[in-house]
């Protein structure tokens, strides 16, 4: 029997509200322990680590978190890795910022930090990622692809992610950048994975074997296990893919999804008296 995971994931589609209601970031602080939370902001993905790190420190402290630190691992040097390991061991939340997801995996992959993150997640630490930080949560991640294009082999480039969420492929800034084609291309090549496209200012909160949607927009779920026909194996790189019997769900805030059984969880409104 697989070991039970005690931690939670908050996977954000990017451009989360940082000035008004801050619904998603408030939920991060709440899940991390409120005033007792110890949040570590990982700025590896961004080319502006000081600016981005200071922004999130200000926001999280404004929302009630007293202990917020920034860790910028910019290389695979032992000094940086060892410092990060010491700080991460004592935190209640790890928050990955946006930027370039390949920077996260190429710097942290095989460094020992990737294994530590999985251990912390299993033991109860909250792991959060926004934009590029969202993409790395899955075992297979989208690195780049054409926005607003029909699904084609050349639409998408993929690489191994951090593997915190298995059998899932995440895409972010989803509706705003017209990324349905590239997510369909990813699932055509990996039909045993679940495609999850997360809009801006929207997140999924993953706990055990399900997730719930929070924020102001929607989450698109693409199921490929019942795919009847695909020409992905014989098509040329620029040829439009044929996909039949793809199942697609649109889940607004308050809805959820059973990740074990691949079943949407519908939100029922109480009848007005």
Confidence at residue 1, expressed as pLDDT on a 0 to 100 scale: 42
127 within domain boundaries? yes
Q: Is residue 269 part of a domain?
A: no
How far apart CA 159 and CA 124 sit, in angstroms, is 27
pLDDT reported for residue 31:
98
The Cα-based distances of 83 to 10, 46, 80, 117, 163 in angstroms read 25, 19, 5, 14, 23
Q: What is the pLDDT of residue 269?
A: 56
Q: Which residues are catalytic?
A: 131, 173, 200
pLDDT at 155: 83
Q: Is residue 2 part of a domain?
A: no
Residues 183 and 197: beta-carbon distance below 8 Å: yes
Do the strands 8-12 and 126-130 form a parallel or antiparallel pair, or are they unpaired?
parallel
Q: Is residue 266 part of a domain?
A: no
Per-residue model confidence (pLDDT) at position 218: 98
* C-alpha span between 67 and 57 (Å, rounded): 9
pLDDT of 267 reads: 81
Q: Tell me if 221 is assigned to some domain.
A: yes
Asked if residue 273 is part of any domain, the answer here is no
| CA-wise closest residue to 227 among 183, 181, 192 | 192
153 inside domain: yes
Whole-number pLDDT of residue 2:
57
Q: Containing domain of residue 16, as a range?
A: 8-258
Averages of pLDDT over each 10 residues, the chain, 273 residues: 84 98 98 98 98 98 98 95 96 98 97 97 98 97 94 92 97 98 96 98 97 98 96 93 97 97 82 45
Specify if 1 maps to a domain. Answer: no
Q: How many angstroms separate the CA atoms of 255 and 267, rounded?
A: 5
Q: What is the pLDDT of residue 249?
A: 98
Total count of domains within the chain: 1
CATH for 52: 3.40.50.880
């Amino acid at each position: 029997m697989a070991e039970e995971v005690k931690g939670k994931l908050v996977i954000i589609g990017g451009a989360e509200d940082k000035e008004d209601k801050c619904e998603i970031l408030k939920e991060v602080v709440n899940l991390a322990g409120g005033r007792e939370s110890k949040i570590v902001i990982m700025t590896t993905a961004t080319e502006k680590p000081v600016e981005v790190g200071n922004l999130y420190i200000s926001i999280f402290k404004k929302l009630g978190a007293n202990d917020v630190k920034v860790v910028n691992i910019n290389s695979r040097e032992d000094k940086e890795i060892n410092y990060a390991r010491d700080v991460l061991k004592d935190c209640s939340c790890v928050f990955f910022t946006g930027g370039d997801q390949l920077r996260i995996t190429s710097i942290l992959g095989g460094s020992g930090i990737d294994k530590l993150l999985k251990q912390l997640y299993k033991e109860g630490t909250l792991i959060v990622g926004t934009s590029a930080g969202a993409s790395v949560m899955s075992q297979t991640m989208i690195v780049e692809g054409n926005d607003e294009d029909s699904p084609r082999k050349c639409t998408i480039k993929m690489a191994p992610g951090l593997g915190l969420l298995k059998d899932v492929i995440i895409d972010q800034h989803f509706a705003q950048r017209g990324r349905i084609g590239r997510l369909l291309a990813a699932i055509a090549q990996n039909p045993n994975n679940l495609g999850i496209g997360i809009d801006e200012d929207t997140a999924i909160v993953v706990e055990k074997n399900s997730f719930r949607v929070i924020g102001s927009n929607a989450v698109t779920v693409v199921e490929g296990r019942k795919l009847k026909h695909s020409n992905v194996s014989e098509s040329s790189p620029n040829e439009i893919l044929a996909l039949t019997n793809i199942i697609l769900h649109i889940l607004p805030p308050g809805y959820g999804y059973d990740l074990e059984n691949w079943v949407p969880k519908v939100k029922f409104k109480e009848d007005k008296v």
